[in-house]
Chain A
Amino acid sequence: QVQLVQSGAEVKKPGASVKVSCKASGYTFTSYDINWVRQATGQGLEWMGWMNPNSGNTGYAQKFQGRVTMTRNTSISTAYMELSSLRSEDTAVYYCARGRSIFGVVSFDYWGQGTLVTVSS
């Protein structure tokens, strides 16, 4: 069965960087994009960007341009999201989600369990 398993919770100081991993299993890793979505406590969902695991191509939401980097290691079917220059407003649960494309329409059909990133001095 398809699974996305994320790394554990992180606590970081303002100005630091965090790297969250997302290990895929149960399907061909390079056949589906990986998206990253975050959710602050009590707030809604916010899309951060996507990565094509086959090519390594990425696309980032304008809000995160220059601060986020999405990469992958195909040998271990793992995607990574690194966010730099952290501030308190970045405290949130970060999710990876598989993007399934049907005739060019993409929905997020499987999600990781989420990784809580806390930014605090």
Chain B
Amino acid sequence: AQSVAQPEDQVNVAEGNPLTVKCTYSVSGNPYLFWYVQYPNRGLQFLLKYITGDNLVKGSYGFEAEFNKSQTSFHLKKPSALVSDSALYFCAVRDTGNTPLVFGKGTRLSVIA
């Protein structure tokens, strides 16, 4: 069975500084990895995904993530944080195209002006 770990409940970063939100995963086969963002009382917005190919994936709003197979990680990064990036971020994984996504517990990002 697949699982996702987001070790940090909260990440605080100053505006303009780089940010990293950590994610590690466990799957039996090849992973399909995703990052989503959720604003208060809203659904999930897709940021980026890794299916195959280049380990560095670029997504929406300047976010990117690096797939590291040896460390089973898929950390989300952004070179320069904005206050508007403050939200709840979820990492998710599935092991085939047809299985449901399994979500991490979420990491709340707070960007301080």
Q: Do A and B associate with each other?
A: no
- B interface list, Cβ under 8 A from A: none
